[in-house]
Amino acid sequence: MIPFTLERPAGEKQAIAAAAGGARYIAGGTTLVDLMREEIERPNRLVDVNHLPLDYIRVIDGSIVIGSLARMSEVAANSDVRALQPLIAETLVEGASPQLRNAASIGGNLLQRVRCPYFRMLDVGCNKRVPGSGCSALEGHNAGHALLGTSDQCVATHPSDLAVSLVALDASMVVRGAKGARSFLVEDLFRLPGATPHLEHTLQQSELIVEIRIPSGAYARTARYLKVRDRSSYEFALVSTAAALHIVDGTIREARVAAGGVGTKPWRMRLVENSLHGQKPSRAAFEAAAALSLEGVRPLSGNGFKAKLLPATIIRALELAGEKA
């Protein structure tokens, strides 16, 4: 690990000023510290933000509002979250081991780096790590890589489970930086790789995630998260689905579906959602809708199985959501 300085500013303004000067924020550090040990990330200044008053969990007008420094374990166990947004609690439990959930912050979870093995191998090309060095996954082992949103520069999947469910629920976020505060959908935090895969999010220099707001909705309490992985213990998703249904008088009034493990960012399945509107919840309707999830897929040499696993996972997640509706 290369030498670095660790600063603990008095408050948020001082932390933002330090980040504007080139320092990096650190809270749980569950990703950043690992990458620093491997010298993939090499910041020379870190700003500890753990003491900032951003670890709250509140209910405001029926919406859940979560401070960015709340730990995953605290959010998953919170009674209001479990009652009003059970999808979030379920996703957090599925998303990490107990040890990681106790350390990892909500904001940090959204900004975790990709788990592509080539990103962590300093002796091979990776355009995320070294722009212009190539993408070793294109011709290498790519069974865990993306089908959607890929480019000839990068095919890595986004690793966050939580982000998938937040995108499905139209969650928004507040950030503050040297230029002030702004709010936008969590979905808009993430970039497609295109020709610049090293640019993974839309945060500006010094911007700090302040809070996440998850709006209430008739579908919220019926939502389910289904994660398919290589082993039942802690592992990243091969394919995952966050699904929610609002059913009135036997008809689907609204559907929310997003997928993980298949896209270079959390992937909202709007074609699937639109297909379900006005339908009677049934296996046939779910199968027809799930087939639309394959629009735009680009399988690689080793991950073609995901093109079969994705619609199957969506169908089962919709069935689970329908059972709660």
pLDDT at residue 234 above 80? Answer: no
- Cβ-proximal residues to 79 (8 Å cutoff; 6+ apart), any chain: none
Residue 314 has pLDDT above 90, yes or no: yes
pTM: 0.96
> 153 by DSSP, 3-state: which?
coil
What confidence category does residue 291 fall into, taking pLDDT thresholds of 50, 70 and 90? very high
Distance CA 197, CA 201 (A): 10
Q: How far apart are CA 235 and CA 166, in angstroms?
A: 20
**By three-state DSSP, how is residue 68 classified?**
coil
Output phi, psi for 135, to 5 deg. Answer: -120, 105
The DSSP element (H or E) to which 264 belongs, if any, is: none
Could you give all domains of the chain from N- to C-terminal order, each with its CATH number? 1-49 (3.30.43.10), 223-324 (3.30.390.50)
- Map residue 224 onto helix, strand or coil: strand
Percentage of the chain beyond pLDDT 90 is 95
pLDDT (tens digit per residue) in 255-276: 999 999 999 999 999 999 999 9
Helices (H), the chain: 12-20, 32-37, 72-77, 79-84, 86-95, 98-103, 106-110, 161-168, 270-276, 283-291, 306-324
pLDDT band at 233 (very low <50, low <70, confident <90, very high): confident
pLDDT score for 71: 98
| CB atoms closer than 10 angstroms to residue 180 | 8
Predicted confidence band of residue 156 (pLDDT cuts 50, 70, 90): very high
